[in-house]
Amino acid sequence: MQIKGVLFDFSGTLFRIESVRSWLAAALAELGLSVDEAAFDRYATELEAACALPGGPTAPRVPETLAEAWASRDESAHLHRVAYTGLARQVALPDPGLYDALYERHRTPAAWAPYPDAAEVLGALAGSGIRIGVVSNIGWDLRPVFRAHGLDAFVDAYVLSFEHGIQKPDARLFRTACTLLGQHPTDVVMVGDSRHADGGAAALGCEVRFVKHAPLAERPHGLRELGLVPEVA
């Protein structure tokens, strides 16, 4: 196929969230709190076990009280906050303000880093005249993250689940993105790390290519290896 447009997932595809320890340390610093090393290790371990870090591992099970919010968490900003602060509240942290501080921290550009080859691949695609979109299941506006890391200039359209009230794999999100790019779905490739969520684009006729959701150091060339453009194939 001749690729005329490429849609990218955000978390685990173009960007990686910081570690739980970095996340917790930043929230503590924001509130001017300090804890001893043993307590810090305990909080970090328990937050990680609760899968409370948005963008980190997905919780296999959630408390019954959070089940409804969790199922629709990416359909609104409110539900996203309820779901993730609820997971964090399973851990007894030393200050009640930490739960909101943790949530706010993960929405900052400093909490995210692009994969090593993201700028190269996006720049090559844009330079070849290929239209680029970002399609993400998310409960907040990620555009500032792209701007802060210098990748916004490559993106022609953002389709964020909370702004549309629907989540991937719903084909309507991918159709909206293709329409915004001015391309027919059969001329568009969807790139993501979730076969369930991102694989929904195949229902429209998009080709879907997958990358491994891995730490930055373990996936230096994952986007490059997809062969989206000859220059970085």
The tens digit of pLDDT for each residue in 34-69 reads 999 999 999 999 999 999 999 999 888 899 999 999
pTM beyond 0.85:
yes
The answer to whether 80 touches 140, Cβ cutoff 8 Å, is yes
Same domain, 222 and 117: yes
The tens digit of pLDDT for each residue in 110-126 reads 999 999 999 999 999 99
The predicted pLDDT at position 233 comes to 45
Residue that is last in its domain, among 91, 110, 129: 110
Same domain, 86 and 179: no
The tens digit of pLDDT for each residue in 191-204 reads 999 999 999 999 99
| Angle between helix 20-30 and helix 37-49 axes, rounded to 10 deg | 120
- The C-alpha atoms of residue 192 and residue 10 are separated, in whole angstroms, by 8
User: The dihedral of CA 67, 71, 73, 75: what is its sign?
Assistant: negative
The answer to whether 142 touches 10, Cβ cutoff 8 Å, is yes
- The C-alpha atoms of residue 41 and residue 35 are separated, in whole angstroms, by 10
Same domain, 217 and 171: yes
How many domains does the chain fold into?
Answer: 2
Same domain, 54 and 86: yes
Same domain, 116 and 228: yes
Domain carrying residue 64: 17-110
Q: Which amino acid, one-letter code, is at 213? A: H
Same domain, 41 and 130: no
The predicted pLDDT at position 60 comes to 85
Same domain, 12 and 49: no
Same domain, 75 and 132: no
Sheet holding 207-210, edge to edge: 157-160, 131-136, 5-8, 188-192, 207-210
Same domain, 123 and 209: yes
Residue that is last in its domain, among 82, 110, 138: 110
Residue that is last in its domain, among 83, 110, 137: 110
Query: For position 129, which CATH number holds?
Result: 3.40.50.1000
Same domain, 11 and 124: yes
Query: Does residue 186 register a pLDDT over 70?
Result: yes
The answer to whether 100 touches 34, Cβ cutoff 8 Å, is no
Query: Does residue 232 register a pLDDT over 80?
Result: no
Same domain, 133 and 207: yes
Q: Where are the alpha helices (DSSP H) in the chain?
A: 20-30, 37-49, 67-71, 77-88, 98-106, 118-127, 143-148, 161-164, 171-181
Give the Cβ contact number of residue 163 at 10 Å: 17
Same domain, 120 and 148: yes
Query: Does residue 19 register a pLDDT over 50?
Result: yes
